[in-house]
Amino acid sequence: MTRESESGLPIEPVYGPDALDGWRAEEKLGEPGAYPFTRGVYPSMYTGRPWTMRQYAGFGTATESNARYKQLIANGTAGLSVAFDLPTQMGHDSDAPIASGEVGKVGVAIDSVDDMRVLFGGIPLDKVSTSMTINAPAALLLLLYQLVGEEQGVPADKLTGTIQNDVLKEYIARGTYIFPPKPSLRLIADIFKYCKAEIPKWNTISISGYHMAEAGASPAQEIAFTLADGIEYVRTAVAAGMDVDDFAPRLSFFFVARTTILEEVAKFRAARRIWAKVMREEFGATNPKSLMLRFHTQTAGVQLTAQQPEVNLVRVAVQGLGAVLGGTQSLHTNSFDEAIALPTDKSARLALRTQQVLAYETDVTATVDPFAGSYVVEKMTDDVEAAALELMLKVEEMGGAVNAIERGFQKSEIERSAYRIAQETDSGERVVVGVNRFRLDEEEPYEPLRVDPAIEAQQAGRLAKLRAERDQRAVDAALTELRKAAEGTDNVLYPMKDALRARATVGEVCNALREVWGTYVPSDVF
């Protein structure tokens, strides 16, 4: 009996050479670290050293998150990954009326350089790589990080890390947008230029399919819409006068890893192959690093269950294995209790230990690309590639990712996929252990980590103190210069940095840009 993959593609009971009709290994695969990078972006992959083990963390105040980061580093985390609370993601201060009830809940509250200083206190920024999951206000958080580095005496060219900075997927699947697409793309191009000149080792964008997958996108949809967004960003930077090889090597991607290992491995291989061809054939990139699709992976939060949460440990291990077999450059493994609440110290440690077992107790790091030549994986790679290219062509026919977003195309396609998954789960066709099969009569009690609601008042107090102490004239003058740059064509990051150094808040800086650029109102016209 033929089954279907997550993308709706057939999975045959048996594969052999006949499944790869017209397939030639030397053309489709190449060598690891060589075009078209199907087998991985580096020749040695994990045989030299394992992937970067990141743990996504941040909650409550900067002080609490700083303590968690130090624990993770002590437990062997090689890179930090910062979660920001919803007001910070939306460019609002903690004492804004719209922030009420959300301060510190899904990440750390950062209102100013004062908070950023506390967040990274005692953590040498020239020794860690930091990824920040921030999009519409990404420029602000990057500049705050740079300012803290300067206070530590760390030159900007020693700072390493990534800002997500992928606003197009916010319009498609996540919703933490601020400005309309056109000024948002202009801001991203300004970030590219600023980092080339000022923070050359920084990854300027992490083009994300993860959130689309969490919203219900299939693997084929995930890479199709992510790569289409990537193409839009490259076109924007080129149109702004940048040479593709000046910025493309700093582009990175962010994908999910589901429990369906075979298709996930195929997805990662197909994505590398498509991107290499696009960068070479459409944009004429000549630097091999411009052709490499380097990516971070996070295990699938949407597949975690509040029922029998310990079973999530198994799911995360399987998902992490799929990411490693697919050739990820860095990995975050979710904690088993994330379907219930923020992770506890113990669950976060177990999540990290999962990666360490994969890296040091299995043999998956002993050889490069273990699935190369597998009949099933190579056929599934071809199938996912073809399905993704078909979707990308539809986006192109609409005039590119932004036009397709404005027509609601990607959102509509993802919603259809999500509805199909929900139907299959409700009917029992799709088995979810502990939810629609193998249930317990009574769930065991579990005590989750809870965020103290007093944090909101504490942050408001910090903001009141900041506004009383700072030089308001300097803040006002810097914000005026920021508005002028936003109205014209100058790079907005330079006056933005001056404003943040003068202790302007995240909300004040974003409000200055809102005055000039407006805010985005979604449309569901497709």
Domain assignment present for 500: no
Domain assignment present for 307: yes
Q: How confident is the model at residue 23 (pLDDT cuts 50, 70, 90)?
A: low
Does residue 183 contact residue 209 with C-beta atoms inside 8 Å? Answer: no
pLDDT-wise least confident of 11-25, 167-181, 343-357? 11-25
Mean pLDDT of 54-62: 86
Give the relative orientation of helices 181-198 and 138-152 as an angle to the nearest 10 degrees.
20
Q: CA–CA separation, 511 vs 509, rounded Å? A: 5
Q: Compute the Cα dihedral for 73, 78, 83, 88 and give only its sign.
A: positive
Mean pLDDT of 426-443: 94
Q: In terms of residue numbers, what domain contains 110?
A: 3-427
Q: CA–CA separation, 447 vs 47, rounded Å? A: 40
Is the pLDDT assigned to residue 29 strictly greater than 90?
no
Average pLDDT of every residue of the chain: 94
Query: What pLDDT is stored for residue 524 in this prediction?
Result: 58
Give the SS3 label for residue 124.
Answer: coil
Query: What pLDDT is stored for residue 526 in this prediction?
Result: 46
Structure tokens at 117: 């200083």
Q: Which residues pair with 11 in a beta bridge?
A: 3
Give the SS3 label for residue 320.
Answer: helix
Give the SS3 label for residue 154.
Answer: coil
**Measured CA distances, 51 to 151, 230, 365 (Å):** 30, 23, 9
pLDDT-wise least confident of 92-96, 238-242, 341-345, 506-510? 341-345
Which DSSP symbol is given to 51?
Answer: P
Mean pLDDT of 433-445: 91
Is the pLDDT assigned to residue 275 strictly greater than 50?
yes
Structure tokens at 449: 């980590």
Query: What pLDDT is stored for residue 121 in this prediction?
Result: 96
Write the CATH number for 399.
Answer: 3.20.20.240
Mean pLDDT of 196-225: 97
Query: What pLDDT is stored for residue 1 in this prediction?
Result: 62
CA nearest neighbour of 51 among 388, 360, 399: 360
Domain assignment present for 108: yes
Q: CA–CA separation, 47 vs 43, rounded Å? A: 9
**pLDDT tens, residue by residue, 70-109:** 998 888 887 888 999 999 999 999 999 999 999 999 899 9
Is the pLDDT assigned to residue 32 strictly greater than 60?
yes
**Measured CA distances, 247 to 91, 188, 196, 274, 289 (Å):** 26, 12, 7, 19, 10
| Tokens 């308001």 sit on residue | 472
| Tokens 């083009």 sit on residue | 207
Structure tokens at 66: 């700083």
Is the pLDDT assigned to residue 20 strictly greater than 90?
no
Is the pLDDT assigned to residue 256 strictly greater than 80?
yes
Does residue 220 contact residue 387 with C-beta atoms inside 8 Å? Answer: yes
Query: What pLDDT is stored for residue 359 in this prediction?
Result: 98
Q: What is the model's pTM?
A: 0.92
Domain assignment present for 519: no
Query: What pLDDT is stored for residue 211 in this prediction?
Result: 96
Q: Is there a cis peptide before residue 36, judged by omega within 30 degrees of 0? A: yes
Instruction: Count the helix, strand and coil residues of the chain and give each as a percent rounded to the nearest 5.
Output: 50, 10, 40
Q: Over the range 453-467, which residues count as b (16 or more CB within 10 Å of their CB) and which as e?
A: eebbebbbebbeebe
Q: CA–CA separation, 497 vs 46, rounded Å? A: 38
Q: CA–CA separation, 315 vs 311, rounded Å? A: 7
Query: What pLDDT is stored for residue 13 in this prediction?
Result: 84
Is the pLDDT assigned to residue 27 strictly greater than 70?
no
Mean pLDDT of 173-181: 94
Q: CA–CA separation, 244 vs 526, rounded Å? A: 32
Q: CA–CA separation, 286 vs 283, rounded Å? A: 9
Q: How many CB atoms lie within 10 A of CB 310?
A: 13
Domain assignment present for 437: no
Residue % of the chain over a pLDDT of 90: 86
Query: What pLDDT is stored for residue 130 in this prediction?
Result: 94
Q: CA–CA separation, 413 vs 363, rounded Å? A: 39
Query: What pLDDT is stored for residue 24 in this prediction?
Result: 67
Which DSSP symbol is given to 414?
Answer: H
Structure tokens at 514: 């809102």
Query: What pLDDT is stored for residue 522 in this prediction?
Result: 81
Residue % of the chain over a pLDDT of 70: 98
Domains: count for the chain: 1
Question: Strands 251-257, 202-203: parallel, antiparallel or unpaired by DSSP?
Answer: unpaired
**pLDDT tens, residue by residue, 377-405:** 999 999 999 999 999 999 999 999 999 99
Burial of 219 from C-beta contacts in 10 A (0-12 / 13-18 / 19+): buried
Domain assignment present for 345: yes
From its phi and psi, is residue 216 left (phi > 0), alpha (psi between -120 and 50) or beta? left
What is the Rg, in whole angstroms, of the alpha carbon atoms belonging to the chain? 23
Q: CA–CA separation, 495 vs 483, rounded Å? A: 9
